[in-house]
Amino acid sequence: GAKQMTVQLLRADVLAEWLLQQRSSDPTQNDHKRLVIIDVRDEDVFGGSIAGSVNVPSTCFSTQLPSLLKRYADYDHVIFHCMHSQVRGPACAGRYALMMHASSTTNVHILRGGFARWVALYGKDPALVQDVSRQVWEHAFEEMSPLRRHALLNSEDEDDEDDEEEDDDDDDEDDSQDSSDDDASSS
């Protein structure tokens, strides 16, 4: 069927639940959900990552794709994300889904809100993030407008799918926030 062509949006709280389930269950029982999280951020991969995720920069995704398809062929879930999951994550997820074997039962997902939302929600939970630089994220969070911050933390529960368009002005490419005023807010 056309099932394998679809890429689903995955809410952060659902993925968090899966990861915690995996941690707590007996490894021999763990074949109920085999999943891999593929982080396609490029040079903006600083400041930490989702626990257990694999970084495959979007710039070299095409060359890596055949080996990824082979390595994760029998996985239940392959989850893609970038910083905001607006440009690179969806593009890579789409290409992966397109190249999957027709008989594949793998579900391909895009993590909603990307790493930015993940770290805003779970940045202090060592079971869900690794190598998080607190300064980077607290700084980024403080720089955000209160409205944006509210949206980031709260757009999780309501299922209106159209909130992805809210901020297409930061379209994932130029995420270099100028850190020149770094010492201003660190007091």
**C-beta separation of 11 from 120 below 8 A:** no
Q: Is 116 exposed, middle or buried (0-12, 13-18, 19+ CB in 10 A)?
A: buried
Backbone angles phi, psi at 27, to 5 degrees: -55, -30
Strand-pair category, 49-50 with 107-111: unpaired
Helices marked H in 72-166 — which ranges? Answer: 88-99, 114-122, 134-143, 146-154
Which amino acid is residue 150, in one-letter code?
A: H
Residue 82 a catalytic site member: yes
Strand partners, 9: 110
80, 109 Cβ separation under 8 angstroms: yes
Six token digits for residue 10: 């995955």
Active-site annotation holder among 7, 16, 82, 100: 82
| Residues carrying an active site annotation | 82
